[in-house]
Amino acid sequence: MEEYKTQEEQHIFDNYGPLLTRATSGQRLANYFIDLVTFYIFMYFFSYVIVEVNMDLAIIMYGGEDVWLARLIYLLFYGMYMGLIETIFKGRSLGKLITGTVAVYTDGSRISGQTALLRGLCRAVPFNAFSALGEFCNPWHDRWSKTCVVNFRDLNRN
């Protein structure tokens, strides 16, 4: 029976993939704000640890003269925080949990911990948030890690 299949039939089955709905720009914006607020709450409590461990780093981050260095440190912490959260929760953060979305590879499979960490570190690139602006939301951390954010219910349906 296999020998009678046409080339078109084989092509249809070879390219079959789950039907996933990409997250809207509004969902992505909500994810960003929710995750940013949770990051600042985390940093509030983490600042006590920083003060106890290294007072010089605390002075740089919270009251130093070099504002740009403090901003870069915060960007790096934000990237590591988001990468760690998405690694632990398999592509989800608190923002994605609330909006019902999840980060997956572009083929629809779940992301690995290494990819989640890569996504987080890509967020530490200055102006990454501005790359999400536009009609089609595809920020740098998605493009560089070959991932996208989709609706979670679609992922579970397939």
Domains of the chain, by residue range, sit at 20-157
Give the separation between CA 50 and CA 15, rounded to whole angstroms. Answer: 51
> What pLDDT does 53 receive?
84
Q: What is the mean pLDDT of residues 55-59?
A: 76
> What pLDDT does 158 receive?
52
Confidence of residue 21 (pLDDT cuts 50, 70, 90): confident
Is residue 11 over pLDDT 90?
Answer: no
**44-53, 58-67, 76-85: segment of lowest average pLDDT:** 58-67
Give the separation between CA 128 and CA 126, rounded to whole angstroms. Answer: 6
Nearest to 89 by CA among 13, 24, 134, 35: 35
Q: What is the mean pLDDT of residues 97-102?
A: 94
